[in-house]
A and B are shown apart, each in its own frame.
Chain A
Amino acid sequence: MATIEFQGKSFNVDEDGFIESYSEFSEEWVQWVKKEEGIDELTDEHRQVIKVLQDYYEKNGIAPMVRILSKLTGFKLKHIYELFPSGPGKGACKMAGLPKPTGCV
């Protein structure tokens, strides 16, 4: 486990740069991941994806399926990749502070 210091905050992250606990999420975390994930400018659409992911996670305890994320945000998968070049898992879920996707990835 590593610790990241950024804008006066510190975050515990794993090797893949996922936050150790959802409770550590903060605006500074968003700014840090933005830098890591090749995102130039954070738009309202980015915020919307993060909000949807967090609401869903808080309510259901899991990240939504890609199809559900598309439905809830109204963004096609292609657009989600335009927003988050690493995709909804490695990009958006990481920025939203959700746990790392698992399974046969």
Chain B
Amino acid sequence: MAKHQTPLLDQLESGPWPSFVSDLKQEAEARAKNEKNIEYQIPQDVVEDLLGVLELSFKDGVTHWKHGGIVGVFGYGGGVIGRYCDQPQQFPGVAHFHTMRVAQPAGKFYTTKYLNDLCDLWEFRGSGLTNMHGSTGDIIFLGTTTPQLEEIFFELTHTHNQDLGGSGSNLRTPSDCIGEARCEYACYDTQALCHYLTNEYQDELHRPAFPYKFKFKFDGCPNCCVASIARADLSFVGTWKDDIQVDQDAVKAYVDGTYPPNAGAHSGRDWGAFDIKAEVIDRCPTGCMKYENGKLEIDNRECTRCMHCINVMPRALKPGKEKGLSILAGAKAPILDGAQMGSLLVPFIKVEEPYDEIKEVIEAVWDWWMEEGKNRERLGELMKRQGFQRLLEMTNIKPVAQHVKEPRTNPYIFWKEDEVPGGFERDIKEYRKNHQR
């Protein structure tokens, strides 16, 4: 018998999609039965109280969590999101309901052993509920009490060799697409770079030292499967410099219908036979492709590497061999001054261990933003306030045409004093000699 009546939530148990309500109830029941005789360190009915408070929120149409919450573990300034229920008498099981962010492996590949071990820890010292994963990438442990935080942290680090993720005004947990592990488009080893930089900047991740949050994300190609261009202050997007690799025989196999276009992604509907002209040549954004006499030609100088032709004919076309990545800066959500996507900062950079060139860019950006950024000002906002030019100066990058989508249309152009013959110091008397008042 459930502790609270949940008529509104019960409706979400129907339908084909996996129901979070059914899952929560299953966990609530398992805790009530406790077949493994676990010595639960937080209330055994935590999940039932969570369902109860959620039902109340469904009824009232408002949240029942108090404002904020500052908890954590010694040595770190982040990693735990404190949360308290605003009806603790009615729902004592969730009076404390803190979230712990646990660093995830790059690409989120797991073994069941590892996950089972984490689950055992979390059943024992937490609610047994998780979020796999948070949008930034972390494994999320949902709901525990303050006294358990240090205990969990000790177990994580000593038994599971596992650290917390980031929260607060710091470097948040970096994440990546699966990259070379399972994708033929990957232009660099996203997991290696993500893992390396996560380790390299542990201090920046655990102890907030920045004006505001800062995120890295690593995409193997411009398809952006981890959406770095939209969700990271610095986005690392794989690309190549030389020619797209073309297998003419495979192209023919697409044209004659042997291979399905887009690897069969549109097979759920009849779009007719594959028409290379309509679906590839005419869709190329720069019009740099030709298909004549059974031969596909690409004017690679005009190719912007949008991935469309490769996506449509993955067995015939491959990214070039001279690979690297582009760095884009400044993506953020709307608050305060409007949403931004990343702006191109470094068109091409090689990806070679120990990644010194990439680290140089990152650290130059940080030096500038840490010194000049206002309280709670994202990198993208500092770029707007002080100008893209300033970002280029601070990162020692020469302005190139690729830095803009179009040149400015207004004529409010600043010059540096040393660029102007004679400088800015002028005497009005000198002017008056030739121009009467």
Whether the pair A100, B70 counts as a contact (CB closer than 8 A) is yes
Whether the pair B207, A105 counts as a contact (CB closer than 8 A) is no
Quick check: is B93 within 8 A (CB to CB) of the other chain?
Answer: no
From A26-34, A47-55, A87-95, the one touching the partner chain is A87-95
- A contact residues around B68 at 8 Å (CB): 100-102, 105
Q: Which of A38, A85, A89 contacts B208 (CB 8 A)?
A: A89
- B68: nearest chain-A partner, CB-CB: A102
- B contact residues around A16 at 8 Å (CB): 69-71, 82
Whether the pair B77, A87 counts as a contact (CB closer than 8 A) is yes
- B contact residues around A77 at 8 Å (CB): 207, 209
Which chain B residues in 201-251 approach chain A with CB under 8 Å? 203, 207-211, 213
How distant is A89 from chain B, measured CB to nearest CB, in Å? Answer: 6
How distant is B201 from chain A, measured CB to nearest CB, in Å? Answer: 14
Whether the pair B69, A38 counts as a contact (CB closer than 8 A) is no
- B213: nearest chain-A partner, CB-CB: A104
- A contact residues around B70 at 8 Å (CB): 16, 18, 89-90, 94, 100-101, 105
Known: A18-B70, A66-B209, A86-B72. A105 touches B167 (CB 8 A): yes
Which chain A residues in 1-30 approach chain B with CB under 8 Å? 15-16, 18
Known: A18-B70, A101-B70. A87 touches B207 (CB 8 A): yes
- A contact residues around B203 at 8 Å (CB): 78
Whether the pair A87, B208 counts as a contact (CB closer than 8 A) is yes
- A contact residues around B67 at 8 Å (CB): 102
- A contact residues around B207 at 8 Å (CB): 77-78, 81, 87
Quick check: is B376 within 8 A (CB to CB) of the other chain?
Answer: yes
- B contact residues around A101 at 8 Å (CB): 68, 70
Known: A85-B74, A85-B75, A87-B77. A66 touches B69 (CB 8 A): no
Quick check: is A35 within 8 A (CB to CB) of the other chain?
Answer: no
Whether the pair B74, A105 counts as a contact (CB closer than 8 A) is no
- B contact residues around A38 at 8 Å (CB): 74
Chain A-chain B contacts (Cβ-Cβ < 8 Å), number: 67
Contact with B along A48-91 (1 / 0, CB 8 A): 00000000000000100111000000000110010001111110
- B contact residues around A103 at 8 Å (CB): 376
Majority secondary structure of chain A interface residues (helix, strand, loop or mixed): loop
- A contact residues around B52 at 8 Å (CB): none
Q: Which of B72, B76, B169 contacts A66 (CB 8 A)?
A: B169
Whether the pair B208, A86 counts as a contact (CB closer than 8 A) is no
- B contact residues around A62 at 8 Å (CB): 375
Which chain B residues in 44-78 approach chain A with CB under 8 Å? 66-72, 74-78
Contact with A along B83-121 (1 / 0, CB 8 A): 010000000000010000000000000000000000000
Q: Which of B78, B84, B209 contacts A15 (CB 8 A)?
A: B84
Q: Give the docked Cα–Cα distance between A16 and B71 (Å).
A: 7
Q: Give the docked Cα–Cα distance between A78 and B209 (Å).
A: 10
Whether the pair B376, A81 counts as a contact (CB closer than 8 A) is no
Whether the pair A105, B370 counts as a contact (CB closer than 8 A) is no
Q: Give the docked Cα–Cα distance between A90 and B68 (Å).
A: 13
How distant is A46 from chain B, measured CB to nearest CB, in Å? Answer: 15
Whether the pair A86, B69 counts as a contact (CB closer than 8 A) is no
- B95: nearest chain-A partner, CB-CB: A15
Known: A15-B69, A67-B211, A67-B370. A86 touches B74 (CB 8 A): yes
- B81: nearest chain-A partner, CB-CB: A105
Known: A15-B84, A77-B209, A105-B167. A88 touches B77 (CB 8 A): yes
Q: Give the docked Cα–Cα distance between A62 and B76 (Å).
A: 22
- B contact residues around A105 at 8 Å (CB): 68-70, 78, 81-82, 167-168
Q: Give the docked Cα–Cα distance between A16 and B167 (Å).
A: 17
Whether the pair B211, A65 counts as a contact (CB closer than 8 A) is yes
Q: Give the docked Cα–Cα distance between A1 and B76 (Å).
A: 26
Top 4 closest pairs, chain A to chain B, by CB: A87-B77, A85-B74, A16-B70, A77-B209
New A-B pairs, 8, CB < 8 Å, besides A15-B66, A66-B209, A67-B371: A15-B82, A67-B209, A67-B370, A81-B75, A87-B77, A94-B70, A105-B68, A105-B81
